[in-house]
């Protein structure tokens, strides 16, 4: 079953809950790759994927969209619950130190969050989350909008 099917089942099987989704993007990822190499960049992507799976084990969907972008969708009981959880995750992830032979550094991410309306098309909510991501980037990065 595709991702859209998961959303449809979640809507039907969990009355009284909301579906929130977020698009995340590693901040300054090109700079990380240019400075530390693609192998280090891959380690950062794996670390973010692991953090998403650990922090959202019951999510409807978590995964890499492409490049340095990820998606997470979760059932919540209140609006902005996912945004709050992502802000906590951002603090922990941003505090983690990555170490190479020549440097120790940290990395952050930005995210946009949107609530999926009861009869709304999933793609419309994804577009709103993506717009929130761009707002977070324009607002200085290392933040969650939504």
Q: State the CATH number of the domain containing residue 55.
A: 3.30.70.270
- Residue 143 in any domain: the answer is no
Whole-number pLDDT of residue 145: 97
Query: What mean pLDDT is predicted for residues 57-74?
Result: 91
- Has 68 been annotated as catalytic? yes
Q: 0.85 exceeded by the pTM?
A: yes
For residue 91, give its domain range: 3-138
Exposure string of 89-126, with b = 16+ CB inside 10 Å and e = fewer, is bbeebeeeeeeeeeeeeebbbbbbbbbbeeeeebeebb
- Residue 94 in any domain: the answer is yes
**Entry field: residues in the chain:** 146
Q: Which residue out of 68, 118, 127, 135 is catalytically annotated? A: 68
- Residue 110 in any domain: the answer is yes
Q: What is the mean pLDDT of the chain?
A: 89
Domain count, the chain: 1
pLDDT in tens, 87-127: 999 999 999 999 999 999 999 999 999 998 877 888 899 99
């Amino acid at each position: 079953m595709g991702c859209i099917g998961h959303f449809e089942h979640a809507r039907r099987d969990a009355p009284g809950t909301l579906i929130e989704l977020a698009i995340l993007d590693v901040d300054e990822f090109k700079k990380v790759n240019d400075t530390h190499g693609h192998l280090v960049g891959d380690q950062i992507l794996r670390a973010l994927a692991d953090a998403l799976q650990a922090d959202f084990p019951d999510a409807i969907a978590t995964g890499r969209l492409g490049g340095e972008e990820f998606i997470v969708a979760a059932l919540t009981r209140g609006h902005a619950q996912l945004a709050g959880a992502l802000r906590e995750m951002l603090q922990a992830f941003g505090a983690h130190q990555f170490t190479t032979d020549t440097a120790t550094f940290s990395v952050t991410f930005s995210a946009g969050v949107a609530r999926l309306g009861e009869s709304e098309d999933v793609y419309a909510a994804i577009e709103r989350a993506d717009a929130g991501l761009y707002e977070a980037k324009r607002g200085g990065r290392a933040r969650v909008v939504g």
